[in-house]
Structure 1
């Protein structure tokens, strides 16, 4: 099962109708979205990014897009609930969230405990950000270093772990963001999280799983696919209809090349 099997069914192929977040150099094939990222390219590699934005602060108006697509992004969010809420905010009623999430069983996170949905709700209630030290030890002390650095020795792994710990803690102390795998997922924990989100009173939307796949895509095999349908209340649908002629991008949207992080 690959993107070629799923994308034509769920995602609008017309240019600019959706957004892909964090594509870096490996965009999802078969779509022509607006690309958003917040990280500079590595080693001068090409990065697919049109505008600056983070997972929980996208440069689009409410209900402006047909879909949000992400692949191996959710684990890099310190606050997954805030990210999912933001992705739903910019997606129209009836639109799609197309999420490929790493399955902990097939990554270097396999030795870490799964993140409980209640923990992610707590991160949301606390307003956890990437400038937070909460998850550093869980990440560095829990991952399988033999898979993170297969050529390394135990001594090199230990040295790297402490170097990264020092760097991450210094960055947080300076108010800077860090980029780690904050959370560890299975398909069951994500669907349980969605159930908790959908049970909230006065929720801004409902997210319903309408398709899924394991070991997705098969040429990579370390993730799972969840396709979510976004349903919004009448008032949100009315506002979207009222603003339907407005540009999808906010006036404050910044082209990626002008990002201070480039």
Structure 2
């Protein structure tokens, strides 16, 4: 397995203040809640810092070469293929904890992913999620994803929402980095991206809508902590399986 830095190592003070803030909060939550053997999906180049008595399997839908291309740098945390949507091939109650940071927004069925991440941990285990708060990221012009939309994605598998997410990308995100696409081309460009299964943010949350989503999930778990005030641009949920 790839060696990952633990929370006993110093913070990288060459990083931006925002990155330092995120790392410090995640590290603290890890020290409080994580122990034993876990799994993290989509860790990329910023895996969750682990306590020294915890170990982790790092899974992604991309291989190491794909991750290097995606992040335009080496050093991504990767041990093998894991689908963060389904956690297919992983038995129930297999791990002590599961981690997912800035992954749910890239999935077409976030509720399904959360339920599967809880499925694979033992009773008393921890699932921890970090999602961007759209108000403080490049998603800020976009509407918040409604709970009804998330529930429909869960019931259908979410593929029908791909075109809607790509249309929001074209309308609200693309103009931040490139010339605005003419109105008559928006549907065409969205369809092209959707057919290519373009990687974008398909859903957005604020703290309130994130909590509303968690309240809907029909799995026996306890919300140990919700952290929205400690980090400038993300919401973190700590769930304990009962």
| TM-score of the aligned structures, taking structure 2 as reference length | 0.76
More helix by share: 2
Following TM superposition, by how much is the alpha carbon of 1:117 offset from its aligned partner in structure 2, in angstroms? 1.1
CA contact (8 A) 1:24 1:49 kept: yes
1:24 aligns with: 44
2:159 aligns with: 129
CA offsets 1:203-222 (integer angstroms, 9 cap, x no match): xx323211121255x4xx31
Following TM superposition, by how much is the alpha carbon of 1:24 offset from its aligned partner in structure 2, in angstroms? 0.6
2:11 aligns with: none
Following TM superposition, by how much is the alpha carbon of 1:102 offset from its aligned partner in structure 2, in angstroms? 0.3
Matched, 1:4 2:27: yes
CA offsets 1:6-56 (integer angstroms, 9 cap, x no match): 1111011x4xx1101101111111253100101321235222111112112
The 1:170–1:144 alpha-carbon spacing in structure 2 relative to 1, beyond 3 Å, is closer
The 1:167–1:34 alpha-carbon spacing in structure 2 relative to 1, beyond 3 Å, is farther
CA contact (8 A) 2:170 2:181 kept: no
Matched, 1:230 2:228: no
Q: Aligned Cα RMSD in Å?
A: 2.7
The 1:193–1:29 alpha-carbon spacing in structure 2 relative to 1, beyond 3 Å, is same
The 1:161–1:87 alpha-carbon spacing in structure 2 relative to 1, beyond 3 Å, is farther
Following TM superposition, by how much is the alpha carbon of 1:230 offset from its aligned partner in structure 2, in angstroms? 1.6
Matched, 1:53 2:64: no
Query: Helix, strand or coil: the match of 1:133?
Result: helix
CA contact (8 A) 2:115 2:217 kept: no
Number of equivalenced pairs: 209
In the alignment, structure 1 segments of 5+ residues that lack a partner are 150-155, 199-204, 232-262
State the alpha-carbon separation in 1 of the partners of residues 151 and 166 from structure 2.
18
